Chain A
């Protein structure tokens, strides 16, 4: 919940306020990227100051609430205790292993989604009847809560990595499918006509015109699919017990009533989410937008 709130706050801020030290690095990279045209590698001190201020206020409020002792310290630990918990998790290696396992699952699941969703999406463009039917089917499954796949995955596949991957793929593949289908169908016809006139057809038309023309909206679609995959992954890790992964550490924290471990993992999950979005998707999007001249109004 806190993560959500923070994330929203973060998105609202134009200067892309980042929370942890790792993410502030990403924010710096992003701000230099944004100013790529005019001022290269400009170090924006106000961005860093904003982040620091935001962090200070947040941690201060948290400390204040714990000092009021509305809840016992075991239920709402102060920031310092959570920091200790984080360092313990790091020294015992369980956090690093957890992050590695979770990221591996995320990357694998997302890659499968892009491959399958992309191919099916392209087939939907190619075969119109199939496209029409499949798009309503896919929209239905797109809105389907990913957590509802978990009982199905447990019984069909079992408590293992494949079961988790299945849930992750199911959560994101339809988003990839729909956005591929939509992005390619929305390519301005003038580009198609001009390139046909210049002799492009079949695969060349696809490769050299449709795909690049659809890229800005494709990236948007991938971004959304990635966030679906991420949501589903943590949920699946909590419910499909495999003795590893961030979701599992979170679930263990609940089992042992260890609130500081829970909060520590929540912060990690938040940081990874922010890092991926800023470091990969936002960067890609910015790159494409600046090439197309779409970010003129932002400057």
Chain B
């Protein structure tokens, strides 16, 4: 590889070090792992949404040549330890806690619920075995929606709870809600739905578990966002000491929140491997991915908005119901974040927020890129509905209500200071980038020809990491650790608990460390994916830019100080006079004095220094997020709606985004574009659909439609880097923002296009058939 010439790597679109392997087919994903004696698992899954399991007969499967073992739910329970969902336990969930087993025993709770696992010499044979497992079911009434789940007459999905309440109803008030509504000129009342859709990484879930009976050690090759969460979950459910479990991960084919720790299937596979003393692989197929891996977002909101006749949004009162699906996932926890984020960047003085979670017979609710994103969708939708009723321009109403930057900063009514938030700036930038008056003229002309164009804007903020709050013990997002070491060949090695699955950490963290330490980019190596060597960590919540970028910067600085200290003894110079440039330690102003950092490391390891010199060139660094800060921005879409076919074409998409200082602009832009594409898919194509019996109707890519290269337009991106808050670390997270704000941007544009028909949109999923219905149902007088 040729050396990369750059003044500073940080801030430049350095080519990714991940690419040479992934572009040549040399990436190593979990399905590429092949171990001696490896067996293959396939799951017998319930065809019913809700049923008692009367009997499971696996005898015919066990007799099939090539089948090594079959475990039913009860048999798997006998070789594992009962316990709560690992993720909920790690997150300290205190609410209703369903009791369940890894494989269904007494009953099945959604179509696709695993009932037995067949282990065979090949995946083909394992699937043959599944066909031979006979399960007898007795139907129970399916609980297919939140309304029925919350009806006391619905049969409890989990008997130990006695009802289908995943999250007990609660109400919180911020500011004086009653007085705000009493003093308002108008109160708007509306109901908004967000539909169920899902992550759909191109690689599904999977693992290879390999138990070594001699050492009593388990190695799990995982596709995970955290090797440590995978390790802990396996140790807990298998009753193993933590040091006997090692989780490894290589390349991961996307996740978007899906692959957090070990799933029920992965735990079952690990238990089977221990029982059989052989490695066992399970990689889900696409049908399993779409029907069983998890789904997100099915939420409904009753919203009241207090407004003035001038368009001031004074307060909101919101009732949220979330459909958490069957097994515990993220669903019960999401409303807390939705509540905290509901005011967004706006000045509103009051928020009332009620929430309830319902357990239904569907696949479980999982985190999906901005899990709380419905707050942005609902707020940005409601603001447009208000603007329309008051006859105010959508940009204008946002500029009017968004908190300007002041000192001290405005504070969200839910508590967090809006320090450094540049909503006003991003709205104004959009107004410069998109000629709104010219668009309105074109829109009018087009309508005369029967062509319906629309423009939509939406704005958002994301706590990535969020502002530092006074008295917070550990910064805005907890602590991030990193181990750093200078090797004797001069390579600076970073060990991080981040588990990249497309985020390019092996490039971006190396950029930061190379600059700070003073070595070429190629001389930094980023080690991920081995729970024995990397510190605890998790890739998610858009945390890595600030938290891991920050610990890489501070860690490289600390390691450099140690190297300079050792070098000062070698070079008989004062540490203050030494600097490291291009991998060489120099006495400042003396280019002939340089010695390589590898030479310093070799001498440090030689034992020649006494106890007064700290010659251990390895450190563990910790970062608390520094001053933190917000990510955010405004998006704008121009769409054309074909009112004959209902097809929506996105003609132009413009982003004005502020994620602070950019580490690698090409990587940042990739994250934004990818998120916007998922948002476009969510509105125009994607839906995890169930019929009235609880059968998943979107089990293939012919039914669950993803955006293609013809559906996603060029996305224009403008970066604002307005407000540095921290002395060193002003990188902010950008992974989720596109997906958070694209859905309201697109829906707002569609409603604008259809305004001649009087269409008002109170939902997120707008496939062609629904567009035509909206036009037919609308009242043109509106």
Genuine A/B complex = no
Residues of B within 8 A of A (CB): none
Residues of A within 8 A of B (CB): none
